[in-house]
Structure 1
Amino acid sequence: MLTRRHFIGLAGAAAGAVVLRSHGSSVAAPAPAATQATLGELPPESATTVVHDFTYVAAERPNALPCFGGRTAPIWTLSAETPLPVIRIRRGDTIAAHLRNDLKGQDVTIHWHGLRIPNREDGVPNLTQAPVPFGASFDYRFRPPDAGTFFFHTHCNTAEQLGRGLMGVLIVEGDESRPFDDEHILVLRDWSIDENGRFLPFVTNEAARSGTFGNIRSTNNEIAPTYDVPAGADIRLRILNVDRTRIMMAGIEGAEAFVIAIDGNAVEPFPLKTWQMGPAMRIDVAMRSPADGKVARLVDYFAPEPVPLAHFAAHGADRRTGALAPAPLIASPIPVPDLDTAEKLPFTFSQATDNSVAPTGPADGRFIDDLCTSKTVYWAINKQSWPMGDHLHVPPPLATLTRGKSYVFELINVTPHMHPIHFHGHTWKVLKSNKRKHLPVHHADTVLLLPNERVQVAFVADNPGDWMFHCHIIEHQETGMMGYVRVT
């Protein structure tokens, strides 16, 4: 169970629960939360800035997670203490993370998913930094300007490394206008292992369709766990889909619930009926727990039969009376795009053709090897496919943007499959869809495109650098549906 004050995880080969705290240490007195309107205006660190030091060592650590049914699998983790590290800081604090790579034959990086941080800290190999080889280290240092629910994960050999578990959760506090009675972090993902605990293939021919699904569904590395909660209480649920492939339709049964944040960004609370979550997407939910002795549950409806993901067993006297009316969260200082002057750019997500592979040649002095043939490339953005080999070969940018200017991207899906499209370093304002008339205007870093859907998103290009722009179904990313946008 991952709660506000402590986090329960599993470490080592045993399946017993241990206390998992936010890793690292902090120094100095608290600093005020950032209120600046743009990333560039975040004030410099001072003697009062809280600095949290973290050390993460990417390594193979065989583990018999509860969801493995007694099998031990050679998972890869960032921490020896727990397979699911959690960082919890306050907005305005600094993260100083030291990464060491102890995975033989692998390069690693850490991408801080959803954070508007300097480009050099974004963790994209060969684009924002050199990949970290076996035996080497790299240091990240940044201050998240936004509060919310985020996560961090590898961006090298992502299908396998993420599939083996190389990720963690990042909570940035400072958005609550009224405290909740309880909180639970719910990390949803599949595992792919056989009856002997060996990993199944992470990339298959299904990469040309919806992607390869795991055979074990888990929540916090358990199968449909039950959590004890106070009765009649307002509970904050931080729900993260960190799977490589699976798209979910999340809903709550047996309790009233409101969506209060999308991808960590505050929204005007609205009742949760269902919310479709592609890989990398998150929602924060305010749930009024049921009466004593009753059980509510988190359910995935995107299946032939609803799949229970977690249960919440209520105990004790009701904490609150009256209808659930969650207070809105405090919005983060995301720049407001000027829609009247914004430049409109279309991005079409399609299946690849023989001519889709990005052109050869050097990009700003970065080495580009001979490109592989397109037979293993299935997807494209604006008729260009990222060359085979994950991030090894860097093509030219899909677009070059002017710093400080407002843009509207029209995301156009011309395939029969869904694609969760993620943009690094910025937060989109999702404006409208041609298919979902009741899609609320909201901020997000990942937008799920339905088949043949057009979605308009707007943002201010205030963060300079080369920023990844890709589908977060990882097999789609690694077989062509990836590019980057340059902000100068």
Structure 2
Amino acid sequence: MTTGRGAGGRVGLLVACAATLLVLAPIAWFWHASLLPGTYAVTSVGYVDTGTAGTAGTGTGTGTGTDPADPATRPGDGVGPRGATPLAHRHEAVAAGREVSVTDLDTDPTRRADVTVDLVARAGTVRLASGRTVEGYTLNGTSPGPLIEVVQGQLLEVHLRNESVGSGLTLHWHGVDVPNAQDGVAGVTQDAVPVGGEHTYRFVAPDSGTYWYHSHQVSHEQVVGGLLGALVVHPATPTRPVDVDRVVVAHTYGGALTLDGQEGDVRVPAEPGDVVRLRLVDTDDGTLTAWASVPYRVVAVDGHDVHEPPAVERATVGVGAGGRVDLEVVVPDDGTAARVQVGSSDALVVGPAQAQAPPVERPDDAVDLLAYGTPAPLGIDPASPDRSFEYAIGRRPGFVGGRPGMWWSVNGHVFPDLPMFMVREGDVVRITISNDSGAVHPIHLHGHHAVVLSRDGVAATGSPWWFDTLDVRDGETYEVAFVADNPGIWMDHCHNLQHAADGLVTHLMYEGVTTPYVVGGDTGNEPE
């Protein structure tokens, strides 16, 4: 009897062990599959997604469909994708189907610079205008770094020197459709610049508008710490007359929102009747909201002019993380100043010195860019795309880098098993972006501007809404389109940079393009 009970016990133990293995083995497999090698190329992880050919969605957007290969149909009034040629950075090897490195997708090395800027990056103390100090990073001793200004079509040359940023750094030209070699992404288009190292960026400013620059090395720490600045590309021929043109960089230091490094109200000197352009740049991880005590116009979004913008009264306008919105206000003639509230605690007081600006409560209504302004030609035909993709953002349990948790997902996959959206040069590309993750995600596509066609099945009816960074709220679905006119390997990621660091990073890749750069290893490259 004792022997029988012992045998039965051993069988039970074996069954229990087998059951445990059946449970633990898949977990162990998923854990192991989530581990990344110490050094890897971004093209070697995830999977290639070629999408579907010639599939259109429900929204056709505003304007008329025109041939993107015909220069005559390219809009030149600032409402569509602009440039001297339909393919802004066309590369003959890519067009011919031959393999080419990102290092070859570059600016003409023989052309002399029109504007030259020197930047020195340091780690240490950031002193705000109020005198408060925080630990972070500076460029030429300040944060935000120096405002860079060029005229559309000029060649900008920036010499970057890393004096003391221990993890290295790069500069990404956010919203500027630069050639791929100049994109400034560590491990994709260059190596991070180490302490004592230097790097030179050279590119022609293709489109006028408001942009910014920031590090794309350990960006969720370095951008938060202040490694950033504004870039304005002025039009060769001004499209709207203004008397005062002011860039306003919004950034949070040590938990307090600042405008150009200042806390509280910021004076913008102007005379009664002056037309004032305020270029709002949101460098934080969340949406910035603005409103005004006087009527205003939204004259540009992400560097692209709005077509026939109407006056806005008693409504807010949102600026997504990484995005830019240009507002136009007229200084009152009654001796008061205009108050432009930026967030709940900071405001721009626009008017003569000592003029008072009346307080203004936050309006209940908001500007909807889907219907704001009037239609204009798109310059592309999104109803007949060459390639269509799904970009479905969710959240699911799993492992990322060996860590268990709830992670952001794209098309049901978590990092690093995320899609590499593969296109050919010249493709008209249509993407359906949906978000069921429980959070807002500002999706930023490098090297391109896309146009919103629809939101939640409702077609766009206003001015063409061109963007490089799009706030996609929980439960929303957008259809967008763009022309694949800039060959390279491009990040397409969430610009809530902690979300990106947690794996919400995909790439847009052109057929035949390779990179010699890797993430990790001796390079220390860590783009997010």
TM class by shorter-chain length? 0.7 to 0.9
Displacement of 1:61 in angstroms is 4.6
From 261, 278, 281, give the equivalent of 1:237: 278
**1:474/1:44 CA distance change after superposition, 3 Å:** closer
* Whole-Å separation in 2 of the counterparts to 1:230 and 1:37: 42
Amino acid aligned to 1:56: L
* Whole-Å separation in 2 of the counterparts to 1:160 and 1:46: 33
| Higher radius of gyration, 1 or 2 | 2
Matches within 5 A, 1:83-482: 83-174=144-235, 176-192=238-254, 215-223=255-263, 224-243=265-284, 245-253=285-293, 255-268=294-307, 269-272=309-312, 273-300=315-342, 306-314=344-352, 336-354=380-398, 357=400, 372-375=401-404, 378-387=407-416, 397-434=419-456, 440=462, 441-482=464-505
TM-score (norm 2): 0.68
**1:334/1:152 CA distance change after superposition, 3 Å:** farther
* Cα deviation digits, residues 189-227 of structure 1 (max 9, x gap): 1112xxxxxxxxxxxxxxxxxxxxxx2111111122122
* Whole-Å separation in 1 of the counterparts to 2:118 and 2:152: 20
TM-score (norm 1): 0.74
* Whole-Å separation in 2 of the counterparts to 1:44 and 1:378: 38
* Whole-Å separation in 2 of the counterparts to 1:480 and 1:402: 26
Displacement of 1:78 in angstroms is 1.9
**1:350/1:112 CA distance change after superposition, 3 Å:** same
Q: Does the CA contact (< 8 Å) of 1:378 and 1:476 recur in 2?
A: no
* Whole-Å separation in 2 of the counterparts to 1:247 and 1:229: 28
399-408 vs 178-187, which moves further: 178-187
1:51 equivalent to 2:114? Answer yes
Q: Name the Cα RMSD after superposition.
A: 3.1
* Whole-Å separation in 2 of the counterparts to 1:383 and 1:64: 44
| Corresponding residue SS for 2:220 | helix
Identity of aligned residues (%): 28
**Could you say which residue in structure 2 is the equivalent of 1:79?**
140
**Could you say which residue in structure 2 is the equivalent of 1:13?**
none
395-404 vs 94-103, which moves further: 395-404
Amino acid aligned to 1:225: V
Q: Does the CA contact (< 8 Å) of 1:291 and 1:314 recur in 2?
A: no
* Whole-Å separation in 2 of the counterparts to 1:477 and 1:438: 29
**1:296/1:58 CA distance change after superposition, 3 Å:** same
| Corresponding residue SS for 2:89 | helix
Amino acid aligned to 1:464: P
* Whole-Å separation in 1 of the counterparts to 2:281 and 2:247: 8
Displacement of 1:292 in angstroms is 4.3
Displacement of 1:435 in angstroms is 7.4
**Could you say which residue in structure 2 is the equivalent of 1:326?**
none
| Corresponding residue SS for 2:133 | coil
Gaps of 5+ in 2: 1-81, 92-105, 356-372, 512-528
| Corresponding residue SS for 1:378 | strand
**Could you say which residue in structure 2 is the equivalent of 1:40?**
89
Q: Does the CA contact (< 8 Å) of 2:275 and 2:328 recur in 1?
A: yes
The count of aligned residue pairs is 393
More helix per residue: 2
Amino acid aligned to 1:281: G
**Could you say which residue in structure 2 is the equivalent of 1:64?**
127
Q: Does the CA contact (< 8 Å) of 2:258 and 2:346 recur in 1?
A: no
RCO comparison, higher one (Cα < 8 Å, 6+): 2
44-53 vs 268-277, which moves further: 44-53
Gaps of 5+ in 1: 1-32, 193-214, 318-328, 358-371, 388-394
Displacement of 1:55 in angstroms is 1.8
Displacement of 1:125 in angstroms is 0.8
Amino acid aligned to 2:455: S
Displacement of 1:266 in angstroms is 1.0
**Could you say which residue in structure 1 is the equivalent of 2:519?**
none
Amino acid aligned to 1:101: N
Q: Does the CA contact (< 8 Å) of 1:228 and 1:313 recur in 2?
A: yes
* Cα deviation digits, residues 383-407 of structure 1 (max 9, x gap): 33335xxxxxxx7752211111101
| Corresponding residue SS for 2:278 | strand
Q: Does the CA contact (< 8 Å) of 1:435 and 1:453 recur in 2?
A: no
* Cα deviation digits, residues 64-110 of structure 1 (max 9, x gap): 3124xx33223311213664311100111111112222235312111
